[in-house]
Amino acid sequence: AMSEQWDVGRALALSGLFRLLQGAGKACAAPFLTLYLRHLGLPAPLVGVVAGAKHLAAALWAPLCSRCPKGRRKRRLLVAGSLLGSAGASLLLTLIPPAGGDVGYKYCNASRQPGDRGAATTVAGPGTSSYGVPSAGAITNAKAVSKETTKTTADVLMASRKPTLTINWETREPEMLSSYRPPLRGLEKETSSLGPAAVDLADNAEESPYTIESNELSLFKTTLPTVADAYMSGNLSDHRKDAQDFSFKAVQNIFQDREHQIFLMVLGAVVLWELLATSVEWTVDESLYEFLDFVDATDRYGKLWIWNYLGASVGACSIAVFVDQLNCFLSSTITRLAVHFYSYSLLITLSLLVSVFFPIHVPKKTDRVNKTTKALALLWSDSRAILYTITVFFTGVAGSAVHNFLFWQMQDRGSSELYMGLSVAVGLLAEILLYFFKGKLLRTFSSSKIVAVSLSLLAVQLLCYSFLWTAWSVLLIQILSAFSSGALWWVVNMTVDDIATPGMERSLHAVLQGLCYSGGASLGSVAGGFVVKHFGLAVLYRACCVCLVLWLFLFLIVQSKLPQQKKINYSRLLAADSSDMSDSDENERDWLVKAMKDESFN
């Protein structure tokens, strides 16, 4: 029974299968989350806030997971409950209806050809860009000339959800499109009075796109003069009363607005999902490492991440191929992207069955020291570690631009989900292949050179994304992820291992990946959403590229000023004559022997 309980091969096989299912499930849903939020009708800033909250929740929750229950049965219950909870939280997202019924059709048609199976019959209006802002094409194409009558279509009114008008230039009066029926008879008289204003709006729109907002304001003033006069004729006490009620009404309007309601529901579901998924990941990982440490087999822990990457590659490709064959909508309110979350829930449920047989070892003596605080102190004590920590933070900021909005860019280029799934798989497989040359690369090149190459290639990736010409070109660009992501983390982990005290290596890695990288990704997500709204996706990628290049130059300058590390020649130490020191001196200096003596004494 004892040999069966401590079967290392069985434990590693179960761990590999668990990581395979977890990686596949995560890759089915996580890369496509922001794309799903776009189909729900959320604008880029709100999507950025959701993504930022997701990264921040993971960064802050991971250190708190060390307070998880220490009992074996309690840990199993925590893992099972968190797995079921994360599956349920992901399904909550599929129950949220979109803000507008035509949003899913618009983006579904953007990635489909007219003859494709499952293409919707309605298409997005050519006068509206991907973010609900009137595009330049809407302004230049605002005047359509025919042989009988010259008409101008005021497409700008569509952006503010006003009925579309056509101007008859012979009668100089507006005409309502035949497909539009005003809900009230009184609206016909009001819209007929918009003739001169609508004509001026169409004329001014061709001169400058920035006059749209002011012209819409003038339209508002011409249609509601009596409301403005009545408001201005009020006494001062009414103004003060309105000013006091304004803040309450503003907050009330936020919660009553359909878009903000969807945002709050999505935010709650995503944060809950991330907290539960982080709990599972930390608890399972910690239990396995403690088990391998107890049986003195921690050297076999280092390559388990490959199973996670393989599962993610297979999961991303498989779900993309499957979803690409579906119709745009599964029902009246559920888009086909909901299948991503159904697949995630299925794979997580399968991993729950594996976790039942998972080995969980709880050490008798637990260290009460806060390892997160100790890891931060170790990083702060070394100048080279500080430099690499800042580098990780900047790569997190830049990486969030790729993870959050790359699929938006691909969708705008007419990409299908197949290329999106392949782009995820290509990046992960490239890291796995380069890993087999890790030892040779680290022996051939210095750490600073590898970091410089990694930052340079990440900047090149971002620049190429800003000039994305076709959807399949992403697959070529993603090959660079082998260096920009994989090789960079080799050097960072190797550097912090040099300053780590015994037992602190994993805590240092967790701080770098959790607090530093996820913290940077959280900040980059929020800022990136606002940049996309006001400047566009291309500007976001180019801005991140410029920031990385500037940091690269600063990194090389600071690196050259730091004192050179003294490398220890271990072969010379092993070849040294042990007769120079007595047995008593050797035992006193060997911390391992001393620790073993203390253990046997206790």
pLDDT in tens, 560-602: 988 876 555 444 445 444 444 444 444 444 555 555 655 555 5
Domain with CATH 1.20.1250.20 in the chain: 367-563
Residue 454 pLDDT class (50, 70, 90 cuts): very high
Secondary structure class of 573 (helix, strand, coil): helix
Residue 341 pLDDT class (50, 70, 90 cuts): very high
Q: Tell whether the model's pLDDT for residue 6 goes beyond 60.
A: yes
Model confidence, pTM: 0.72
Q: Which long-range contacts (CB under 8 A, 24 or more apart) does 551-558 make?
A: 551/390, 551/391, 551/394, 551/455, 552/452, 552/455, 552/456, 552/459, 555/387, 555/391, 555/448, 555/451, 555/452, 555/455, 556/448, 556/452, 558/387
Largest CA distance in the chain: 111
What average pLDDT score do residues 235-243 get?
55
Q: Give me the pLDDT at residue 404, please.
A: 94
What average pLDDT score do residues 509-538 get?
93
**Spatial separation of the C-alpha atoms in residues 332 and 110, rounded to whole Å:** 19
Q: Tell whether the model's pLDDT for residue 376 goes beyond 70.
A: yes
Q: Which strands, in side-by-side order, build the sheet including 150-153? A: 143-145, 150-153, 165-168, 173-176
Q: Tell whether the model's pLDDT for residue 227 goes beyond 90.
A: no
Q: Which one has a higher pLDDT value, 172 or 6?
A: 6
Q: Which residue has the tokens 């745009």?
A: 328
**Spatial separation of the C-alpha atoms in residues 311 and 21, rounded to whole Å:** 6
Q: Which one has a higher pLDDT value, 91 or 185?
A: 91
Q: Tell whether the model's pLDDT for residue 126 goes beyond 50.
A: no
What average pLDDT score do residues 203-209 get?
41
Percent of the chain with pLDDT over 90: 46
What average pLDDT score do residues 390-419 get?
93
Q: Give me the pLDDT at residue 104, please.
A: 57
- Beta partners for 166? 153, 175
Cβ atoms of 447 and 565 within 8 Å: the answer is no
Q: Give me the pLDDT at residue 191, please.
A: 42
What average pLDDT score do residues 44-61 get?
95
Q: Which one has a higher pLDDT value, 436 or 297?
A: 436
Q: Which residues lie below 8 Å from residue 385, measured CB to CB, with a gap of 6+?
A: 378, 379, 495, 496, 499
Q: How many residues does the chain have?
A: 602
pLDDT in tens, 421-444: 999 999 999 999 999 999 999 999
Q: Give me the pLDDT at residue 590, please.
A: 55
User: How far, in whole angstroms, is CA 252 from its chain's centroid?
Assistant: 30
Of the ranges 22-31, 399-408, 437-446, 561-570, which one carries the lowest mean pLDDT score? 561-570
CATH architecture of 1-121+257-366: Up-down Bundle (1.20)
Quickly count: other Cβ atoms within 10 Å of residue 531's Cβ. 21
Q: Tell whether the model's pLDDT for residue 328 goes beyond 60.
A: yes
The first and second tokens of residue 52, run together, are 């930022």
Residue 135 pLDDT class (50, 70, 90 cuts): very low
DSSP assignments along 301-332, one per residue = STTTHHHHHHHHHHHHHHHHHHHHTS-SBSSS
Query: What does pLDDT average to over the chain?
Result: 76
Q: Give me the pLDDT at residue 47, please.
A: 97
Residue 67 pLDDT class (50, 70, 90 cuts): confident
pLDDT in tens, 140-169: 343 333 333 333 333 433 334 444 444 444
Residue 367 pLDDT class (50, 70, 90 cuts): low
- Beta partners for 152? 143, 167
Q: Give me the pLDDT at residue 293, please.
A: 85
Q: Give me the pLDDT at residue 358, please.
A: 82
- CATH class of the 367-563 domain in this structure: mainly alpha
Q: Would you say the C-alpha torsion 69, 70, 71, 73 has a positive or negative sign?
A: positive
Q: Which residues lie below 8 Å from residue 310, measured CB to CB, with a gap of 6+?
A: 20, 23, 428, 432
